[in-house]
Amino acid sequence: MEFRLIDGKGKRFTFPVNPEEVTISRQKGFDTTTILSRGEFDFPQGNKIKEISFSSFFPKEYDEAFCKGGKKNLPNPQTAMNKLNDFLASKTPLRFIITETAVNVPVFVSSHQSIFRGGEPGDVYFDITLRTWSELKVAKIGGIKGAVTNKKPRTDMKEKNKTYTVKPGDSLSKIAKLELGDSSKWNQIYKLNQKMIGKNPNAIKPGQKLVLS
């Protein structure tokens, strides 16, 4: 089993000493909203970025009991730490692989710490944290990149005319009182419907559909 970081040019960096354990942190994303007096509510928003962390060291001297890759491939501890610094500053994702496992993911180095121990001169210990990365894909809709179309029809905000269908025994004053709350508004109704009613405002007929406003 080997722990590797591979850059965008295909150059491989192999950690010479496998860590004793690896922690992979997975969390679900939530959007927390406070609703008046009801308190806080969580709304799931998909998975958060995974974090992979482990600790190990770069030995000054090769020891076949725990070193990987052979003696000639053992990096100088300071050179190895500088390489991790380069990875930390990089704006291009790396690929992290643990051979013989299913771990093979694009990552960024989000943090690392160097530790020097007085009783082991030359060796450099470290803690490192990686964050998984995925490419943001922008949908192309209607020939415009990133455009979002709303297929839901827009609500018609225009006020619709109020109408009334004439019944037997109706008069304009009766309709005005019933529908508009004021019998004196019969003339308003007449003006709106004069073309249909004719010259005599009392000549309304059952079935006629009058516009009231």
* Amino acid letter, 11: K
Predicted local distance difference test score (pLDDT) of residue 160: 65
Structure-token match 């709304």, residue found: 43
Predicted local distance difference test score (pLDDT) of residue 157: 46
- Tens-level pLDDT at each residue, the chain (213 residues): 888 888 888 888 888 988 888 888 776 655 666 666 667 665 665 556 688 888 888 998 888 888 887 788 888 888 888 888 888 888 888 898 888 888 888 888 888 888 888 777 888 899 989 888 876 666 565 555 555 545 555 555 455 678 899 999 999 999 989 888 888 999 999 999 899 998 999 989 999 999 887
Closest C-alpha among 9, 7, 89, 101 to residue 52: 101
* Amino acid letter, 183: S
**Phi, psi at residue 49, to the nearest 5°?**
-65, 135
Closest C-alpha among 40, 71, 67 to residue 56: 67
Predicted local distance difference test score (pLDDT) of residue 120: 78
Closest C-alpha among 198, 22, 45 to residue 100: 22
Q: Which run of H or of E encompasses 105?
A: strand 104-115
Rounded to whole angstroms, the Cα distance separating 53 from 186 reads 82
Sign of the alpha-carbon torsion through 77, 81, 84, 90: negative
Give residue 105's Cα distance to chain centre. Answer: 21
